[in-house]
């Protein structure tokens, strides 16, 4: 089974120097591609000089995560694609369990176990052991709820999940494009949840592969800041509008907006005015786009059973349930 590994890069030469050799050495029988978002830090020259076997896909500007992959993956020749962050450290035989799963079921999306690069016994924020959402679209993971990260003691096994992390996602190329690829309007953040939700509505399953392990630096890509907060809040509202069943859309959006207002107040109380403003800007941007999103909404069937629990916010902050098994 041939897999094309597609690594998106934008001014990530230091990350490439740290992690690319391991990807080359530990990914047998794979073709590796670098999709470069018009870097100006000599990333391309570094790859050309040190890894001539890697195929370079150079874009004319920074398209962000979503659109860059939509464009770049068209040049990947393999039927199976691994979307891989440039700040991921892979391990020996990391793709073997994935290949085994794909031989059993080719109509699925797979995520390996994503561990913290710096605290190596702990799951990492961006995906951990596979993702879910609550009724109001808040994401959480096996091994990570909000900022509480669990130690990996092999408490999770291979199982169905709702979404696979964009930090390391294995997906058949046909499924990716049949679903329309990532939504380019997201730019970055939550586009993988939106993609997997669209897949869920069309009967495509997501699985974790606990025997496949990678380590994620995480903060190297986009540190916690107002811009990230803006993208997360805006994209979450767009995702809900696109994917919710029509009969519950207005109710869920209303509750979600109320919860977001609570977040604005909370950030003001802890003197993070920048984050409060970012949420307000996210809502303004969303409402500016809302009519267009509704008009372009896919008219196909939307499943009701998309969420694992009613409210992760209530369970975590009120009931103090900090670990996945306590939900």
pLDDT digits (tens, 9 = 90+) for 5-18: 999 999 999 999 99
pLDDT of residue 223: 55
Token representation of residue 320:
């103090």
With 0-12 / 13-18 / 19 or more C-beta atoms within 10 angstroms meaning exposed / middle / buried, residue 203 is: exposed
pLDDT class of 219 with cuts at 50, 70, 90: low
pLDDT of residue 222: 47
b/e per residue, 111-130, with b = 16+ CB within 10 A?
A: bbbbbbbeeeebbbbbbbbb
Tell me what the mean pLDDT of segment 249-253 comes to.
Answer: 97
- Dihedral sign, CA of 32, 38, 43, 47? positive
pLDDT of residue 147: 87
Tell me what the mean pLDDT of segment 150-170 comes to.
Answer: 97
Residue 144, phi then psi, degrees to nearest 5:
-155, 120
Tell me what the mean pLDDT of segment 139-160 comes to.
Answer: 96
pLDDT digits (tens, 9 = 90+) for 257-268: 999 999 999 999
Token representation of residue 209:
């592969």
Domains in the chain: ranges and CATH: 3-216 (3.90.550.10), 226-326 (no CATH)
pLDDT digits (tens, 9 = 90+) for 99-119: 999 999 999 999 999 999 999
pLDDT digits (tens, 9 = 90+) for 270-283: 999 999 999 999 99
pLDDT of residue 1: 85
pLDDT class of 218 with cuts at 50, 70, 90: confident
Q: What is the pTM of this model?
A: 0.95
pLDDT of residue 220: 47
Measured CA to CA, the distance from residue 316 to residue 162 in angstroms comes to 19
* Number of Cβ atoms within 10 Å of the Cβ of 218: 20
pLDDT digits (tens, 9 = 90+) for 63-113: 999 999 999 999 999 999 999 999 999 999 999 999 999 999 999 999 999
Cα angle value 280/283/285 (rounded, 5°): 110
């Amino acid at each position: 089974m041939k897999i094309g590994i597609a690594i998106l890069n934008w001014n990530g030469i230091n990350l490439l120097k740290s992690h690319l050799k391991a990807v080359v050495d530990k990914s047998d029988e794979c073709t590796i591609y670098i999709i470069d978002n018009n870097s100006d830090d000599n990333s391309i020259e570094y790859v050309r000089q040190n890894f001539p076997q890697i195929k370079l896909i150079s874009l004319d500007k920074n398209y962000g995560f979503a659109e860059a992959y939509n464009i770049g993956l068209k040049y990947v020749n393999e039927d199976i694609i691994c979307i891989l962050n440039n700040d991921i450290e892979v391990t020996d035989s990391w793709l073997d369990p994935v290949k085994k799963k794909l031989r059993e079921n080719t109509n699925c999306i797979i995520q390996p176990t994503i561990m913290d690069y710096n605290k190596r016994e702990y799951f990492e924020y961006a995906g951990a052991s596979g993702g879910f959402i609550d009724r109001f679209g808040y994401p959480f993971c096996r091994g990570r709820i909000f900022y509480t990260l669990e130690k990996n003691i092999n408490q999770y096994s291979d199982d169905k999940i709702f979404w696979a992390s964009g930090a390391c996602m294995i997906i058949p190329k046909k499924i990716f494009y049949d679903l329309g690829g990532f939504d380019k309007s997201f730019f970055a953040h939550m586009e993988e949840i939106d993609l997997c939700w669209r897949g869920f509505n069309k009967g495509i399953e997501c699985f974790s592969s606990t025997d496949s392990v990678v380590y994620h630096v995480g903060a190297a890509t986009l540190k916690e800041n107002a811009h990230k907060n803006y993208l997360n809040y805006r994209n979450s509202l767009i995702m809900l509008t696109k994917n919710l069943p029509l009969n519950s859309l207005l109710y869920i959006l209303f509750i979600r907006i109320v919860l977001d207002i609570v977040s604005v107040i909370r950030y003001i109380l802890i003197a993070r005015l920048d984050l409060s403003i970012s949420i307000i800007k996210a809502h303004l941007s969303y409402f500016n786009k809302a009519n267009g999103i509704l008009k372009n909404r896919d008219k196909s069937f939307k499943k009701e059973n998309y969420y694992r629990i009613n409210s992760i916010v209530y369970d975590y902050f009120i009931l103090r349930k900090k670990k996945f098994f306590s939900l």
